[in-house]
Every structure is written in C-alpha cells, then in structure tokens.
Chain A
Amino acid sequence: MQDAIIERIRAAFETESPLIIQGGGSKTFYGNADEGEVLSTRTLTGVVDYQPKELVLTARAGTPLAEIEALLADSGQMLAFEPPHFGGRATLGGAIAAGLSGPRRPYAGAARDFVLGVRIVDGTGQPLRFGGQVIKNVAGYDVSRLMAGALGTLGVLTEVSLKVLPKPAAEVTLQFELNEAAAIHTMNEWAGQPLPLSATSWHAGLLAVRLSGAASAVHAAQVKLGGEQLRDADAFWQRLRDQTTPFFERRPLWRLAVKSSAPPLNLGDAQWIEWGGAVRWLARDLPVKTLRETAQTAGGHATLFRGDAPVDGVFPPLAPAMATLHRALKQRFDPRGILNRGRMYREF
C-alpha cells in the first residue's frame, strides 16, 4: 500500500508534477489553494498496533478517526486532543497533517503533543521513519512533531503513532451568564486553580465550562463553581469541535489565536471564544491588516479559516528569518515542491 504511494511520488518527482494529498477530504477548505492531481491516502487503512496498557496506538494514515475513536472507546480510552472531524470522514493522517485540535486542547494538549512517531514518504519518494512507539524518546531531531501541522508539505504521512489517554469517568458542563471581559478573566482564573477543567467556550453572553475526571472530583468542582448544568453537553462540544453550529457557516471565518488572557479585541459581536480565551473566532469581514495587527498585539496571529483567501494568503506571513528556514526545510524534504504546493505558503 505504501509502495503505491512511493511509486506515485517518484513518478511525480521525475516530471515535477504537483500532488494534492487527500485523506477523507474533510479539510479541503483549510489552507491556500493547491494545485495538481489528487494523491489519496484512503487505501492506507488499519490499526497496526494498539496496546491499551502502553497508552500507544499506531495506525495507517488513511484510517478514519471515527474508527480509531471507536476502538479506543472499547478500552475506555480516547484521543485527548479531540481532533475535529468537520462532519466528514476525517482520517488520522489528515488530522495530524492539519495539526488541528478540539475543545480539550488547552487542558490536555494539541495534536502535536500526542505524536510519538511517524512514517512518511518525502517529496523524492524516500520512505522515512522518525520518533517511535514510546512516550519518552529524544534520539534525533523531533521530525515527527515537525510533521504535525505541516499540511503535508514536507512529506506524505503513511503511519502515525500516538499517545492515547483514559477517558474521564465523569463529565459535566456548567453555564454562566457573563460578559466577554468577565468570561475571559474567569476562564484564565479558573485554569490557574486545581479544577478538573477540560473545555471552555463563550458566545453571546454565555460561558460554558466542561469538567472531566473522577465523579467525586467533578461533583466537588460543580458545587464550588455553581452555574447551571447544560444538558446534552456532548452534542454541544461536538458541534463546537466540528463547527456545525450556524455561527461557523458565516464567511469569512477568521481564527485569531492570542494570549489566553488578552482582553476583548473589540472587533464586533460576531465572535466565539474557546480554548480558555486563547482562540477567538470572528465571523466578520474586516481589513486583513487590522485583523493581523490586532492578533499580533494580543500575542498571537490571525488565520483566515474559511472563506476567500486574502492577497497575502490565509496564514500570516512569516518574519524573514523564519521564512528562510521554512524554505530551507521544504527544500530538503521536497526539493521539487510537488507536495501540496502552495497550501501553506504560496511560494512553496
């Protein structure tokens, strides 16, 4: 199965023909437009190894996330970074290549934090393996985590090993009526206390806080924090994770990643805050320059998540020294620039 991908990339390398790497196609909206023929990873399926007692799962890149999550659930475990499925047939490879994480991210870690090892085929058709199947491993540069969020521009992921975690025994979501500034402050304040937080969201005057852990701990925190218990909370967080609420249908949809405690950005009401204040979704058409500068002042960066790409691309331009390093790395992994050409930055 991997052999077919190697053959295909070698042929594309020879003719310098760009390839668009695709798993389930659930995230085709994300990134800049790319060009070329589709290279599908959907034939690369199957869990290679899963040892619940080791907290490690290894699967081929085209394996659907839903399949992996169902298998983990049978042993009471989960992917703690809650990868978005975006309502589609999201695959493991796509989840790691896009590097996106769901509501649990600020409290449990990001996709990249759970990557232990990868097998890739680079832009010359060379298969390579980095990292491994163990939790602690510092041999060689951490190329496996470099692949997380690289949008396939450094290599086609063919197999990924992840750290997995036990599912919490109990979960409760509490709601509070709060204005934006108070909600941001509260999210940060509570994250600094020994509370079993696992997700936070603020939209239209309502702060939602999910607690996860042992039933006794969740109950104690619930008593301490008060608020009103949200029913059907699983569906609420899943809609936020997969962006299936009407708010996320608006265009353009900007993602402003900022310092979690940054005060309100004053960019209008069309806003949804999550990740303890560290992500502010904005469904409003404002000048790109305003958005990029506002995010930067708040310690972060602005990405056009969904909608028509601005002239300088959907991702914020890199500082010159960083851009030089990006080009140099791309050159080493994909010298002819055939993998997802232009998807991350238009120049490569």
Chain B
Amino acid sequence: MLSPAFLSKLRSLLPAHCVLNEREDLVPFESDGLAAYRNTPDVVVLPENEAQVAAILKLCHAEKVAVVARGAGTGLAAGALPVDGAVLLVLAKLNRIRAIDPLARTAVVEPGVRNLAISEAVAQHGLYYAPDPSSQIACSIGGNVAENSGGVHCLKYGLTVHNILKLRALTIEGELLEVGSDALDAPGYDLLALMTGSEGMLAVITEVTVKLLPRPQRAQVVLAAFDDVAQAGAAVGNIIAAGVVPAGLEMMDRLAIQAAEAFVHAGYPMAEALLLCEVDGVNEEVSDDIFTVRRVLEASGATEIRTADSEEARLKFWAGRKAAFPAVGRLAPDYYCMDGTIPRAQLPHVLRRIGEMSEEFGLRVANVFHAGDGNLHPLILFDANQPGELEKAETFGGRILELCVEVGGTITGEHGVGLEKINQMCTQFTTPELVRFHEVKAAFDPDRLLNPGKAVPELHRCAEWGAMHVHGGQLPHPELPRF
C-alpha cells in the first residue's frame, strides 16, 4: 500500500483529474489485454505532458516507489499488470501528433498516439506507418515500442525497431534521454534497439519519431487450400525460395478455418490448411509475383488456388483470417493464445507435437500462423469455469513454448514476456544470460523501480519452477544452481 503522505505529494504534481485512486476508477486498469491476470492498482496517474511524467518519476525515485508504465492496455502478456505498492503510469493522454514531415517521411508523435492514427494522419501524403499489429485500431505507439510490435506485414517491412528513428525517454530519475537521431544512425551504442522491446523496464518513452513509407501502388492476395499441413508449410518455403518476399503470408489449420468460416462466411474451402499470400508493390511487380506465387503453389500440391481479382475480394479473403481469434473464441468459453516462433521447416513436427499434447491435456487447439516469419499462435480452447482448466491450459501453453525453444525458436515472437511467459525465459536462457539481462536493467534502473518482476525472471524463480517442472525424470536445465 502507498502511504497517504506519498499520495498527497503525487497529487501536488498533477491536476486533480489526473490522479485516480477510488476503487471504481481503478477497476478498468486491473489488467491489460491478457485478462486472466488481474490486480487492482494502488493509484493510477494520467499525466498530460512530459514535464508531469518527469515529476512523477522523480518523486517515485526519491521515495523508492515502483512504476508500471501502461499505454492503451492492449498488450497480451500481462506486461502492464499493476504491481502492488506501485504507481500505474498511464501515458494515454500524451496523444498528440507533434509533426509530420512528408518530404523526409517522418512523423513525431507522443506515446499515446494510436498506431492506426499515424497512418490516417499521413495518408494525404501517400504515406503510411508500416508495422500493423492486429490491435492497431487501439494500441498506442509507446506500447508498440515497448513490445517491439510486429504485424502481418513484418517479413517484408520489419518490426517496430526497423521503423523508428528516435525516442525521447525519461529514466527513473526523471532524466531525459534522446536516443537515435533524425539521421539514419546515432553515435555510440544502439540504445534505440536496446530500448525497443524492453517492456517498460529501462525507461519511460515520451516521444517517438517514426519512419513513414510510400503506400504500395497495389496489393493482391492469393488463397490456396491444402489437404496436408506439411505440404502447406513446404509451399511457404518454396515461395520464398522462388525469390518472392510476400507482404503477408498467413496459414490456418482445419479448426481455425472452420471457426472463421462459420463466423464470417469468407467462402473459404474446407481443407487441412489454408494459405493466404499477399504481394504488394509497384503494379508490374505485383503481376509478376502473383504469377510466380500461383505457379509455386500449384507445384507444391495446392488442391485449390484463388486470386482476389478486386479490392472487395481481397478484403473478403482477409476477413476470415482477421476474424480468426474471435471466431475461435466462439468454439469455447475461453481461449489462451500462445506466441512462439519456430524455424519454418519445423512446422510439421511442431504441429504434430501440439496435436499429441492436445490429446494428452484433453483441450482442443486451433492454429493460426504468421507463416512468413515463423510466428505461431496456437489458440488453446478451455472453460475457465471448470475447476483446474485454466491451470491445465497454462501448463499446456508453457509446454508449447518449451517445444518452440527445443526446435530452435523462441517463446515469444511479438507479444512480449511480461508476467505471462516469465517462467519460460528460464528455458530459453542460461543463468549467465539472465544475470546479464538484470545487469542491463541495473545500468538504467539500479533500484529496479520500473515494472519490477516482469520480462526477466529472478534466478530463484527459475530454480523453483524448474524443480516443479521435471520432464521424464530430467531437470530441464541441470546447469542452473538450485537454491
């Protein structure tokens, strides 16, 4: 609990409407997009400018009070979950677009600006901001930087880290950092890369300079059905080997196709796997690429291939994929979305193992796959009202993530670690690597006041979790110290 003395100091820094600590005002901030994790914050502050953010941080630093930064609250890994005794710092009111430079193709925005709002604001110049996480209507750019968000187009256009130039950020001491530059690089260490994806653990972002790209002249999508998941997976590699870098390359398995079809009637053929391959760019290049993609899909054993011949048809092809999560949500009272990435060649093996585990746990799984970049989203179906099912789903999900690491992948492709995947960090990294992560944090925040307990597990946590978590009589990491 925060002391009344601290709360009154906090109130002295901000207008009255910017500090919330009545129970009913706090409830909306209990969780982020991962609602299974909830904790009522002690106090919520909503500063309206950078100076107020700095004042809050200075006070918290002086009083050794922890701070959890939050953007739009759409994160999927409980990264913005309130921490007991901490201030929840909501940056949603810093939502101005400060400058747009059409010639240099940059925009300077505050962290609370929504991802899609940037593209909308620059559309008149024929430009857009490329990273497009599925939550782009709601998610804010500050959160995108904190999570290094991707989207369906990141094989070709990159992640957030590839599409930003400069940050203004405040340390826990309230000191301003200017990271990156208006040029294409900056002197010294690449702190822009280090801070992107750092999950609010290193500093609080107050301004982002983003790069803008010219809108592609044309985008076209091809849909292909397969009666075997492995064949669909091989087709993805064949498209890339043919020299095409698709703008989007998505795959769905049978259960996901059925759910999507029942929900939005996109006209999908029933199949074991469906591929959606979008190419974009200059008009002539799109024509060439569509020809190549169709030829490769045929040679790879597709049972049916359709090309969207109008914008309307293109949007209809995508409608099913974009509705896949809510569609799967109709199949069961709850679902749990995983976010591992694997080398694509491992897809058939990984899907077979997930299928086996699905039987073992007695829980169904629908698979939605950003096939181009290997990012797999298995959706585990369960019923939280059945005693023990949530725990079972979480255990199952954890096993999927460990499988991703085992085949050379990672526990999180785009959602972040947050609190959700903190145990699996023990699987992916060795003790010295985890220690180094803590040391990197300490270089910025020696008192560990920013988002404590998230993203990087304490070593004792790994030891305790490892002890509970024995596979076939063997501890997963015998090199870990046990204490």
Q: A332 touches which one: B106, B176, B414, B439 (CB < 8 A)?
A: B439
Q: Check if B116 is an interface residue, CB within 8 A of chain A.
A: no
* B289, A138: Cβ atoms closer than 8 Å: no
* A113, B436: Cβ atoms closer than 8 Å: no
A128 to B430, CA, bound (A): 8
- Residues of the A chain whose Cβ atoms lie less than 8 Å from the Cβ of B176: 321
- Residues of the A chain whose Cβ atoms lie less than 8 Å from the Cβ of B281: 194, 196, 213, 217
Of B329-337, B341-349, B355-363, the stretch lying at the interface with chain A is B341-349
* B183, A322: Cβ atoms closer than 8 Å: no
Of A172-180, A201-209, A232-240, A295-303, the stretch lying at the interface with chain B is A295-303
Chain B interface residue count: which class? 35 or more
A172 to B179, CA, bound (A): 36
Within the complex, what minimum Cβ distance (angstroms) separates B444 from chain A? 7
Q: Check if B244 is an interface residue, CB within 8 A of chain A.
A: yes
Within the complex, what minimum Cβ distance (angstroms) separates B218 from chain A? 9
* Given contacts A109-B162, A128-B432, A217-B284, A135 and B183 within 8 Å (CB-CB): no
A56 to B150, CA, bound (A): 18
Which residues of A from 211 to 240 have beta carbons under 8 Å from B?
A: 213-217, 219-221
Which residues of B from 173 to 216 have beta carbons under 8 Å from A?
A: 175-179, 181-191, 193-194, 196-198, 201-202, 214-216
- Residues of the A chain whose Cβ atoms lie less than 8 Å from the Cβ of B395: none
Q: B191 touches which one: A113, A316, A325 (CB < 8 A)?
A: A325
Q: Check if A88 is an interface residue, CB within 8 A of chain B.
A: no
* Given contacts A53-B241, A321-B176, A106 and B155 within 8 Å (CB-CB): no
- Residues of the A chain whose Cβ atoms lie less than 8 Å from the Cβ of B288: 214-217
Q: B141-173 toward A: CB 8 Å interface, digit per residue (1/0)?
A: 000000110100011001101100000000100
Q: Check if B456 is an interface residue, CB within 8 A of chain A.
A: yes
* B237, A53: Cβ atoms closer than 8 Å: yes
Q: Check if A52 is an interface residue, CB within 8 A of chain B.
A: yes
* B284, A112: Cβ atoms closer than 8 Å: no
A303 to B334, CA, bound (A): 56
Which residues of A from 133 to 152 have beta carbons under 8 Å from B?
A: 133-143, 145-146, 148-150
Q: Check if A99 is an interface residue, CB within 8 A of chain B.
A: yes
Within the complex, what minimum Cβ distance (angstroms) separates B165 from chain A? 9
- Residues of the B chain whose Cβ atoms lie less than 8 Å from the Cβ of A328: 442-444
Chain A interface residue count: which class? 35 or more
Q: Check if B423 is an interface residue, CB within 8 A of chain A.
A: no
Residue in B179, B182, B237 with the greatest tally of chain A CB atoms within 10 Å:
B182
* B189, A154: Cβ atoms closer than 8 Å: yes
Q: Check if B403 is an interface residue, CB within 8 A of chain A.
A: no
Q: Check if B104 is an interface residue, CB within 8 A of chain A.
A: yes
Q: Check if A189 is an interface residue, CB within 8 A of chain B.
A: yes
- Residues of the B chain whose Cβ atoms lie less than 8 Å from the Cβ of A167: 243
Q: Which residue of A lies closest to B408 (CB)?
A: A133
* A54, B285: Cβ atoms closer than 8 Å: no
* B103, A141: Cβ atoms closer than 8 Å: no
* A141, B343: Cβ atoms closer than 8 Å: no
* B433, A145: Cβ atoms closer than 8 Å: no
Within the complex, what minimum Cβ distance (angstroms) separates A82 from chain B? 14
In the A-B complex, the 7 residue pairs with the closest CB atoms: A299-B182, A300-B183, A53-B237, A145-B193, A216-B284, A328-B443, A257-B183
Interchain residue pairs with CB less than 8 A apart (24): A52-B240, A53-B344, A55-B240, A56-B343, A134-B410, A134-B413, A138-B414, A140-B417, A141-B197, A141-B201, A141-B437, A145-B161, A146-B193, A154-B189, A165-B245, A192-B102, A193-B126, A194-B214, A196-B281, A217-B285, A300-B182, A328-B443, A332-B440, A344-B188
